[in-house]
Amino acid sequence: MGLEYVRISPGFEKYMPKDYVDLVQYGQFGKEIDVQQLGQFKELVEEHPMCAGCFMAYFIRVFYAALPKPEDTIVIGTAGCARLSLSQAAVPFIYGNYGDTNAVASGLKRALSIRFPDKEKDVVVIAGDGGLIDIGFGMTMHSWFRREKFTTIMVDNEVYGNTGGQESGMSPKGVQLKMAPKGKQFDKINAVELAKTAGCVYVAKLSPTNPKRIAKTVRRAILAARHFGPTFIHAYTSCNIEYSIPTEKVLEDARKREKQDFGFYEWMTEEVKEFFEEIERKPEEVKA
């Protein structure tokens, strides 16, 4: 990984697949991309087998467009819907066993820091509510307790969508699902407060209705993780199949949940706040 591995050796352009040549010439590697330019550059993930109307797929598309340095990023996922898209992207992807993504990420981040002491290598875990807060709860929490410097993003579809519709710890109380016909008996786990208590230095919660805000949140989480410690994003990404949301109503549902219980929330430590105040100042202010 790294920009030198992405570039095509001179004279070999005509032998490389057209898609790859386009990716190098018109893609994100080594460039600053504004998420509002989506559709105007060669994206890191363009094809995937996720369901039509899946909002998780949309979130992942924006996530890749927001990466500050995709050529120096490794993504880790596990069983579940997200990996169907993550594994198709032009960014290195590691498939962790179910529940151990944050343990894998811990070892990987430490190894990269030793192998590349003078370079920033970003590690990002993207997994569902089952992989991170149910079955992967222990591994997730202990990576935060240890202050591991990588980002964890939970794409929360509030169900085990791949295995028939069982309830998860993140399913809302009372919801009836195919494999939970009596309705869930317990409250949705408060993952945001857990992350803050466990030591994350940057925590955000959102419903993906605003691509620019998603991109800013992803970028902040990755940059804060580089310098200070674990970061966490809790993103609502509905399962339109298990929750029977018509494709044309998916965005409407996201907006409804944003008003109901997924309003944008962002929290960071004081040192992280000072860091962003410094690097996000307007260029003319920095020069002054």
Average pLDDT, the chain: 93
Instruction: Determine if residue 139 is left, alpha or beta; phi over 0 gives left, psi from -120 to 50 gives alpha, anything else beta.
Output: alpha
Phi, psi of 118 (to 5 degrees): -105, 5
- Over residues 160-215, the pLDDT tens digits come to 988 888 999 999 999 999 888 999 999 999 999 999 999 999 999 999 999 999 99
- Over residues 54-111, the pLDDT tens digits come to 999 999 999 999 999 999 999 999 998 999 999 999 999 999 988 999 999 999 999 9
Count H helices and E strands in the chain, helices first: 12, 7
Are 59 and 214 within 8 A, CB to CB?
yes
Distances in Å between the Cα of 182 and the Cα atoms of 31, 158, 186 are 51, 16, 12
